[in-house]
Amino acid sequence: MRKILTTMIILAGGLIFMSFAVVPENNSMNKSQKANLVIPNGVHSVIMQHCFMCHNMKSRGVKSKEKLNFDLLTHMELPTIVAKLQNISDAVNNDKMPPKKFLEHHPEKALNAYDKSLLTKWAVASADSLLRNK
Amino acid sequence: MKIRINKKTIIKLVGVLVALFLLIQLIPNKRPAVTMDNPSDLIQNTKMPPQVARMIQTSCYDCHSMETKYPWYDKMAPATWLVYRDIRVGRRKLNFSDWTKLSTAEKLKALNHIGEEVGSGDMPFLPYAIIHKKARLNKEQRKIIVDWTKQYSKDLFYAN
């Protein structure tokens, strides 16, 4: 009985110590609170079909996932998310994404006018919303 | 067929090269304009550490602002083609002289891009850094610029 009690006291002490030692990430101004970024189904589908292949955690292209990684997007700091959203809008608007070389081998990944409009409008509106509702 | 290389051939070859060099000087190539009075300029309108301002001015402003300091070789083709092209492309991508004309989202995008490019060592552009010793940035200087982009991004985002 005494042994069990001693073990429980040690465990409780350990838990109390850890709660002081570990500072939650969102307590710091350096880290963002998790972004409230809503991706509607239509936009999600466009991203999955046309962008996700290169811009995800498991992608083989180091540069492409360094520039934009959809798996990490909502975990970034809020100013960085706005920067990435603006980048998506500019890259799609200026026909830089998907890259022309990539489209030579995957013509089915080209964005049509409707998809482009959907993606850019979402990116701009989301960036705007994050800037207004911080 | 054998080509005999003698003194005459070398003189002819040099003559052709000189003629070609003179001829390409006649190809028109408009020099990108320089303006020193830029009311929308980044450094003029932003409270930034003087050290960062100095580094950005020395390492970036030749291609990314209207305050380009042209090198001595800029009037000679083919160097002139490369220099003018780099300046045109650089200004189109990011022009610090137009900083205050950008929206907050565009500024955040630019700062994020500066952080990535300088942090990875992709900027200043290698051929430029080879020729311009003063523009080179060491690891410590790169970190200072990257830290500044992060801090300034937060300041911009949380302002107002």
Q: Which residue of A has its CA nearest to B102?
A: A86
In a domain, A96, yes or no: yes
**Which residues of B fall within a CB distance of 8 Å from A128?**
105
In a domain, A69, yes or no: yes
DSSP-assigned letters across all residues of B103-152: -HHHHHHHHHHHHHHHHHT--S-HHHHHH-GGG---HHHHHHHHHHHHHH
Confidence (pTM): 0.78
In a domain, A89, yes or no: yes
Q: Each residue of A12-62: pLDDT tens digit?
A: 555 444 433 333 333 333 344 566 788 899 999 999 999 998 899 888 888
Type of residue at B105: A
pLDDT band for B28, please (50, 70, 90 cuts).
Answer: confident
Q: Each residue of A61-84: pLDDT tens digit?
A: 888 888 899 998 988 999 999 999
pLDDT band for A114, please (50, 70, 90 cuts).
Answer: very high
CA distance B110 to chain A (A): 8
Q: Which of B105, B113, B116 sits opposite A82 (nearest CB)?
A: B105
In a domain, A99, yes or no: yes
In a domain, A101, yes or no: yes
Domain membership of residue A52 as a residue range: 26-132
Mean pLDDT, rounded, for A100-121: 92
Mean pLDDT, rounded, for B130-152: 95
Please state the domain count of chain A. Answer: 1
In a domain, A17, yes or no: no
Structural contact between residues A83 and B115, judged by C-beta atoms closer than 8 angstroms: no
In a domain, A118, yes or no: yes
DSSP-assigned letters across all residues of B43-94: HHHS---HHHHHHHHHHTHHHHSS-----GGGGSTTHHHHHHHHHHHHHHH-
In a domain, A16, yes or no: no
**Which residues of B fall within a CB distance of 8 Å from A87?**
109, 112-113
